[in-house]
Amino acid sequence: MTIYQSGIIAEASSDALFITLNVDRSEINALRNTLGAAPALIEELQSQFPAAELHASIGLSSLIWDDLDRNRPQFLAPFPHIAGKDIEFIPTDVDLVLHIRSSRHDATYQLANVLFNAFGSSVRLVEEVSCFKYLDNRDLTGFVDGTENPAGEQRKAVALVGSEDQSFEHGSYFNLMRFVHDLEKWENEDLKTQEDVYGRTKHTNQEYPSAEKSVHAHTKRTSLKDENGDSLEILRHSMPFASLTEKGLMFASYSKTPVIFNLMLESMVKGDEHGNTDHLMKYTRATTGQAFFVPSNKWLVSLS
Ligand code: HEM
């Protein structure tokens, strides 16, 4: 078992389930016991599906944290309410999240079922969204998603809390947003307009040269640097979901601090110093916005 929860760092998967839950406060001891047993339950299912790259992470929001631990991760807070001229992100925080992923939908389903049954009446299901790999890791707008994610050891450096918050080392801040796309509007745009919206080419997935990127391009608005010129990064595990009537993206990201994600949101919604905002948001709408902390396996086990 890794010291951090395995869903954080693992490579992109072809299947994922995002499950959000609220807790019955009168059953907090039962919840504590299940959270403590969860790492072993996950490991057991992983051994039943050795080739399925089955991974999970369990996150807790600021709403439930204090019921479980008197100490708090340094930056744990509700999802920020950010409103600009045309875009608004509204917090819809819940108590718990399960992020389960694998290369086999049956494995994902079984682990979700085992965990949900183990929580029993201590939780109430808020939402369950099943996601799939679309083509070569594309969003339903047709563009490859995840290209500029950190790779190799850099994934841990970006996603895991280090010694700066010793009690919560190896944990990660997790943000989840459910976006519903207006694909009719999107598909009415010509190729050049779509590519300008991302600042990347569609078919060949090439980044535009910096000078050709619009100030409204999604990759312009989210590619941020600190005062030393170093990139501010997050680790994204976003995946599409779709029914015949509703199509979109579960945006999911891990980071050693939520500050970077919040800055990206601000840059998208409020824009640069001239108010130039992210034009991708003209074609999609966030129906949820949630913030969690995904503690280490050691912290989970210590609960029971
Ligand atoms: C880049 C899609 C929301 C952060 C990208 C790319 C795509 C994409 C296709 C280019 C390829 C790459 O992954 O590097 C989407 C869609 C979204 C969405 C469809 C919602 C409907 C967000 C949000 C954030 C975000 C909410 C953060 C607050 C980033 C970052 C990059 C990126 C950091 C890499 C920028 C770079 O360095 O070039 N996104 N994204 N995205 N996105 Fe998003």
* Structure confidence by residue, pLDDT tens digits, 207-230: 999 999 999 999 999 999 999 999
pLDDT of residue 195: 98
Q: Which of the four pLDDT bands, split at 50, 70 and 90, describes residue 275?
A: very high
Is residue 197 a contact partner of residue 217, using CB atoms and an 8 Å limit? yes
- Average pLDDT over every residue of 43-50: 98
Whether ligand 1 lies within 6 angstroms of the CB of 196 is answered as no
Rounded-to-integer distance, Cα 171 and Cα 185, Å: 39
Residue nearest to atom 8 of ligand 1 (CA): 145
Cα 69 to ligand 1 centroid, rounded to whole Å: 34
Helix/strand/coil for 44:
helix
Whether ligand 1 lies within 6 angstroms of the CB of 198 is answered as yes
- Give residue-wise pLDDT tens across range 53-88: 999 999 999 999 999 999 999 999 999 999 999 999
Residue nearest to atom 21 of ligand 1 (CA): 179
Whether ligand 1 lies within 6 angstroms of the CB of 206 is answered as no
Q: Which atom of ligand 1 is nearest to the CA of 139?
A: 19
Pocket test for ligand 1, best of 175, 222, 232, 282 (most atoms within 8 A of CB): 222
- Average pLDDT over every residue of 36-44: 98
Whether ligand 1 lies within 6 angstroms of the CB of 145 is answered as yes
Q: Which of the four pLDDT bands, split at 50, 70 and 90, describes residue 6?
A: very high
Q: Which atom of ligand 1 is nearest to the CA of 205?
A: 11
What residue has token string 């990347």? 200
Whether ligand 1 lies within 6 angstroms of the CB of 139 is answered as yes
Rounded-to-integer distance, Cα 79 and Cα 62, Å: 9
pLDDT of residue 185: 98
Whether ligand 1 lies within 6 angstroms of the CB of 223 is answered as yes
Report which DSSP code applies to 182. Answer: -
Is residue 192 a contact partner of residue 184, using CB atoms and an 8 Å limit? no
- pLDDT > 70: percent of the chain: 100
Rounded-to-integer distance, Cα 168 and Cα 162, Å: 8
Pocket test for ligand 1, best of 90, 136, 145 (most atoms within 8 A of CB): 145
* The residue type at 181: H
Helix/strand/coil for 171:
coil
Is residue 249 a contact partner of residue 173, using CB atoms and an 8 Å limit? no
Rounded-to-integer distance, Cα 65 and Cα 67, Å: 5
- Average pLDDT over every residue of 114-128: 98
Half-sphere exposure of residue 272: CA atoms within 13 angstroms, side-chain side: 13
Cα 162 to ligand 1 centroid, rounded to whole Å: 25
Residue nearest to atom 32 of ligand 1 (CA): 219
pLDDT of residue 222: 98
Q: Where are the alpha helices (DSSP H) in 49-153?
A: 62-68, 105-119
- Give residue-wise pLDDT tens across range 63-72: 999 999 999 9
Cα 150 to ligand 1 centroid, rounded to whole Å: 13
Q: Are strands 82-83 and 235-236 parallel, antiparallel or unpaired?
A: unpaired
Is residue 238 a contact partner of residue 146, using CB atoms and an 8 Å limit? yes
Whether ligand 1 lies within 6 angstroms of the CB of 251 is answered as yes
Strand segments (E) across 61-137: 82-83, 88-89, 96-102, 123-132
Residue nearest to atom 38 of ligand 1 (CA): 219
CA angle 67, 238, 21 (to 5 degrees): 30
